[in-house]
Amino acid sequence: MLLKNKVVIVSGVGAGMGQALARIAAAEGARVALGARSKGLIEEVAADIKANGGEAIAVPTDISDAKACQAMAAATLEAFGTIDGLVNTAYIHGAWLPVDEADPEDYAQVFDVNCLGAMRMTQAVLPTFKAKKDGAVVNVSTMSTVNPFTGEGGYATGKGGLNVLSRHMANDFGKYGVRVNHTRMGWIGGQPVYDYIDRAVAGGADRDALVAEITARIPLGIIPPEGDCAKAVLFFLSDYARVVTGAVLDVNGGQYMAP
């Protein structure tokens, strides 16, 4: 088991990859703390994990609030006694608008959640990591930070800040034995993407043509399945990555290949 006996916090356990991260982490042997603003969803996922023999707690968490992040860390320690890993996957997208039409205040709100939210959550678990001189953080970012997509300016700006923050975290936390890496996700074959496709079809688009247009840009020729994307993220929490820090992993089926 990739994460046997580890305690992992996953922030942003929504309908997309967040819930897959939690479920797969548990299946790989981790005890999991699930955070999100949606209490009902995280309780449902936690119940499913426990029904399948895993251990999980659900803690409603708003990462725009430092006290809520601290409460998540405290609840995890109370339930499991320690914290080994953190996946910062919580985000908001903001308005789908080109930059010339965008509201700077919308960008500011997105940045506060996508970048500073990860900072707050990481600072909340850092005392535990410092005390044990060990810990791993994975910040989940987006391909849009390096391969622009119209309408994602605000989302990508917040995640672009997260990319830079990840490297500074890695630099500053290394002396405590803490590793920090980030992933840049492309299309993810889960509910959010399939909902987008369904909306386009409802608006008159041809489903097969739309999927073909998306996959034509991806060398592997598929929309990368949600579970496979989650496994790539969780690798950074495992002992296979014990000497990897400050790194970025592109998880996009080859659509963007870093130089």
Q: What is the pLDDT of residues 25-52, one digit of tens each?
A: 999 999 999 999 989 999 999 999 999 9
Which superfamily, per CATH, for 7-187+228-241?
NAD(P)-binding Rossmann-like Domain (3.40.50.720)
Angle of helix 153-173 relative to helix 117-132, nearest 10 degrees, comes to: 20
Cβ atoms within 10 Å, residue 1: 10
Q: What is the pLDDT of residues 89-104, one digit of tens each?
A: 999 999 999 999 999 9
Q: Kindly report the pTM of this predicted structure.
A: 0.95
* DSSP characters over 46-91: HHHHHHTT-EEEEEE--TT-HHHHHHHHHHHHHHHS---EEEE---
Q: What is the pLDDT of residues 175-230, one digit of tens each?
A: 999 999 999 999 999 998 999 999 999 999 999 999 999 999 999 999 999 999 99
pLDDT at 1: 86
Helix, strand, or coil here: 5? Answer: coil
pLDDT at 259: 87
Strand 55-60 relative to strand 135-142: parallel, antiparallel, unpaired? Answer: unpaired
Q: What is the pLDDT of residues 120-175, one digit of tens each?
A: 999 999 999 999 999 999 999 999 999 999 999 999 999 999 999 999 999 999 99
Q: Is 102 left (phi over 0), alpha (psi -120 to 50) or beta?
A: beta
Which letter, b or e, does each residue of 186-222 get, where b requires 16 or more Cβ atoms within 10 Å of its Cβ? bbbbbbebeeebeeeeeeeeeeeeebeebbeebeeee
The token duo for 64 is 């725009």
Instruction: Domain ranges for the chain, please list them.
Output: 7-187+228-241, 190-223
AA identity, residue 80: F
Using the predicted structure, report yes or no on whether residue 115 has a pLDDT greater than 90. Answer: yes
pLDDT at 16: 87
